[in-house]
Chains A and B, each alone.
Chain A
Amino acid sequence: MKNLIKKSIYSFYPKDSLKPYKLKLGYIFHTEQIYDDTYFSWLLEFCSTYYEITGARAICAIIPPTNYLLAQSLKEAGFSESNFVSRLRDIEKVATLGYHGHFYNSKTPKAEFAIHCNSFQLKPLIEQVEADLNWFRKHNIDHNGIYSGGWWFMNAFLADMLITNGFRFDYTFSRAPYFFNLFSDQIMSENQVRIGESFYLESGKGKMLCIQNFIGAHATPYVEDFDRNLKNLFSPENENGLNVGVINSHDYDLDLKNTLKCIRHLVTDAGAEFFSHDGLRALSEQQARKTALLDLNK
């Protein structure tokens, strides 16, 4: 019933409502369950088809098996580390890898024990980031200096640690209500960063280019939902200049058919252009005028 109503309402909704915004988009996965055969095959299929449609490579920010939850899941699934590495090698053929971190205040990896802005403890964060990054090094997996935060968590300490460890690109910041993060919100508000505007985050040890997440990728047959949700975030300002950012999903909640449908729609009806990480980087470097300074004492 709800779908029927939607269908009839959307028959009046213009297909090109996002056209004025000059969208420059990328696609990022928070890649968390590649030990699952089905999700893994969806992921590869998506990346290949996405490339055929857009000419762009998706970004797959991966969780390394040092993560408490992934370690537990791999063990339960009887999935070996070497199999995991070999799947990353397969992903690398069709997408660009990055690092996706989920950190806990407990050895029990449950969401209620998540390290977040208001449940922050530095020591376990340092331990887990170091273990994760050692894993990348040990297995010679290139994260390309790209980070995207689990639960959209970011704060000054994590950013500082990432910059210190050579990360130069972040895809964690967002203005979408469900991706809200206190630190991100403060940084963007204080520096008057609008949605779709890339910017730099700088510590004493270097700087990181931050490319925003617009909204989640689309998972219903009604692409107009996507248009409406994204448009709601935009202000009249967004009609001037570029709007650079990514849309995202997990590997395990990807709606292969409808997301690809939406991407075709964005290309055809909204005039959106899709870019690989390198393209997003070039556009963002051109666009970025603002540099937010990290303050570890705040």
Chain B
Amino acid sequence: MPEYIVRELDIHEKDINNNIISFLEEAFGKDIDLSKIIRNTYTRNGKTLYLGAFHNERLVAFNCFMAFEFQFNNKTVYAHQSCWAGTSPQYRKKGLFSLLYDEAKRILLDRGSAFIWGAGNSQSQPILINKLGFRKIEMVKVEIPAAFGGKFFIDHYLKKLTQGAGVKVKDAFLPNEAEVMELKLGEFGEEVRIHDRYNNILWGKIKHKEKFGLKLKYLAVGGMVVNKPHLLHILFKEIAAKEKIDYFQIVANKTNTYLHNFLHVRPAANTEALVIYDLAMDTTNANFNFFIGIKDVF
């Protein structure tokens, strides 16, 4: 495909905006503008990568790789989440998606990124796994009833742990939740709910769902930090009382070590699996303490 040129986009650079904007409208719809994408993807570490494929100087395919900071065995590492993949309709099925990924792998490895991850959808996941070498980690969920201030159920869903258990994070990638929360606060403001008690932190968004003919209010948990697991139940009860929710919904990949705090964890069949491609680190045996809130679409 010699006629395509892949290059990094400086998304803050003014002179390429018109080119990008018309492409974005075509690829993602009229209501998407550049500032929305920046608010959604530009994390404060400044390492987010925006890649474009050009044909005759015209942007025809785009992919973003959001940079996140992690704690891994007390060291700081960066890894990138693939998102905002789009191709102009007349350029689809020409391998541009793979072309962008190949270039991203090269650039990000060069910059020391630990791995690329994503969720993909029913179309992209088979390509990521079968063609681009990603591996898959299944998702799980736990829904904790929280009515009546969580008085009756929370203790049945949180394990009774001794003080040191439930916070073991050896070989686990812990997102810098401060960075994730700041990104989401910048995009959604007060829609993002953040609670903390005794150095345990839990954040998410209030959502509604019809279930059994009832309109239920729940907290979709975006992420958490557990430092005092034996006191985690106090935080859950406080949130239940303050937010007046019917339940908590926690969705995570199955290697998330914080899940050891919970009972009744079951497969989340309807949630796209996490897919991982190793760059600077071999993450085969690592744990990923990601919750659903780290996704660009949360």
Contacts and interface: CB of A to CB of B under 8 A. Distances in A.
Contacts of B196: 111-112, 114
Contacts of B246: none
B: contact size bracket: 20 to 34
Contacts of B169: 118
Interface in A231-246: none
Contacts of B22: none
B228 A119 contact: no
Given A177-B230, A181-B227, 19 more contacts: A105-B176, A105-B178, A108-B182, A114-B199, A114-B201, A117-B167, A118-B167, A119-B174, A119-B177, A119-B178, A119-B201, A120-B74, A121-B69, A122-B76, A157-B74, A178-B228, A180-B163, A186-B164, A298-B74
Interface of B: 69, 71, 73-76, 163-164, 167, 169, 174, 176-179, 181-182, 194-196, 198-199, 201, 203, 225-228, 230-231
Given A156-B74, A180-B163, A118 B231 contact: no
Interface string A270-298: 00000000000000000000000000111
Contacts of B73: 297-298
Contacts of B227: 116-119, 180-182
A287 to B, nearest CB: 24
Interface of A: 104-106, 108, 111-114, 116-123, 151-153, 155-157, 177-178, 180-182, 185-186, 189, 296-298
- The 5 tightest CB contacts between A and B, nearest first, are A105-B178, A113-B178, A112-B196, A106-B178, A116-B227
Contacts of B198: 178
A297 B164 CA distance: 20
Contact of A112 (B176, B178, B226): B178
A186 B168 CA distance: 11
Contacts of A105: 176, 178-179
A182 B198 CA distance: 13
A112, A118, A155 interface centre (most CB from chain B within 10 Å): A118
B163 A122 contact: no
Contacts of A153: 199
B71 A189 contact: no
A166 B256 CA distance: 39
Given A105-B178, A121-B176, A182-B167, A177 B231 contact: yes
Contacts of A122: 74-76
A150 B210 CA distance: 44
A118 B174 contact: yes
A176 to B, nearest CB: 10
Contacts of B176: 105, 119, 121
Contacts of B194: 112
Contacts of B69: 121
A94 B234 CA distance: 38
A296 B163 CA distance: 23
Given A106-B178, A112-B181, A119 B164 contact: no
Nearest to A120: B71
